[in-house]
Amino acid sequence: MNADKIPDIIIGRLPVYLRALQRLSDKGIQTTSSQELGEIVGISAAQIRKDISQFGEFGKQGTGYSIPFLIERLRDILKVHRVWDVVIVGMGDIGHALARYNGFANRGFNIRMVFDNDPNKVGQRVGEFEILDMNVMAEKIKQNKIKIAMLTVPATAAQEVAEQLIKAGVRAILNYAPISLSVPPGVKVQHIDPAIHLQRMTYYLD
């Protein structure tokens, strides 16, 4: 299995399948079908079968997929069978919300440290975290070999902070600043910008 061979668009759907399977599992359900899964996630059963078959043979005709087995396999493929440490940079409203968000539990991520450069914020507590000074950010990230950051600084600062993070060893950035980041090959970026998501829907409205 070569990571470069599987289209990114399929990789993008796997976390959605995993989330749905986890919810079925939480309800004590042990098996599912591509039909059932498709109805939950709003993707055709044929597409789901095709996506899942990229990674080997799962499920049998007539008996469907074993949910625990498929969860295990997807967690393995997405590398979230382990827990990744994550830092949050920028402790405005969104940074606060993320630091206190409980939706990362059991999904492979652990918020490890949070940073800001505002002297009035540094040293304050947010949930279980003390806000650390961005002056020590690069050092802390290197020491702890952290690979993932959530970036919630203003748009004007985002590119510069991203470069500091990458230099310190970060390889995946979830960017909440409303700006496209320019990053070197080998660094992944995902963007969360509510206006972009809304504009994608207004196209279809009257």
Quick check: 45 binds a copy of itself (CB under 8 A)?
Answer: no
CA distance 154 to 174: 14
Q: Is 166 one of the binding residues for a copy of itself (CB under 8 A)? A: no
End-to-end CA distance of the chain: 45
Using CB under 8 A, which of 7, 28, 42, 62 touches a copy of itself? 42
The residues in 87-116 that bind a copy of itself, with binding defined as CB under 8 A, are: 92-94, 96-98, 100-101, 103-104, 107-109
Residue 31: HSE in the Cβ half-sphere, 13 Å Cα cutoff: 10
- Candidates 78, 122, 138, 157; binder of a copy of itself (CB under 8 A) is 78
Contacts of residue 10, defined as CB under 8 A and 6 or more positions apart, other chains included, come to: 51, 54
What 8-state DSSP symbol labels residue 145?
T
CA 18 to the chain's CA centroid: 12
Q: Are 163 and 123 in contact (CB under 8 A)?
A: no
Angle between helical axes of 8-26 and 34-41 (0-180°, round to 10): 100
Rule CB under 8 A: say whether 165 interacts with a copy of itself.
Answer: no
**Is residue 29 involved in binding a copy of itself (CB under 8 A)?**
no
Q: Which two tokens stand for residue 43?
A: 């993707």
Where helices occur in the chain by DSSP H, the ranges are 8-26, 34-41, 45-53, 67-77, 93-100, 137-143, 155-167, 194-202
Q: Quick check: 55 binds a copy of itself (CB under 8 A)? A: no
Q: Is 182 in the site for a copy of itself (CB under 8 A)?
A: yes
Binding range to a copy of itself, per CB under 8 A, among 7-15, 27-35, 45-53, 117-125: 7-15
Which of 77, 113, 114, 146: binder of a copy of itself (CB under 8 A)? 77
For a copy of itself, the closer of residues 12 and 68 by Cβ is: 12
Counting contacts by CB under 8 A, is residue 198 touching a copy of itself?
A: yes
Residue numbers at the binding site for a copy of itself (CB under 8 A): 3, 11-12, 14-16, 18-20, 23, 39-42, 77-80, 84, 86, 92-94, 96-98, 100-101, 103-104, 107-109, 147-148, 150, 171-172, 174, 178-180, 182-183, 188-205
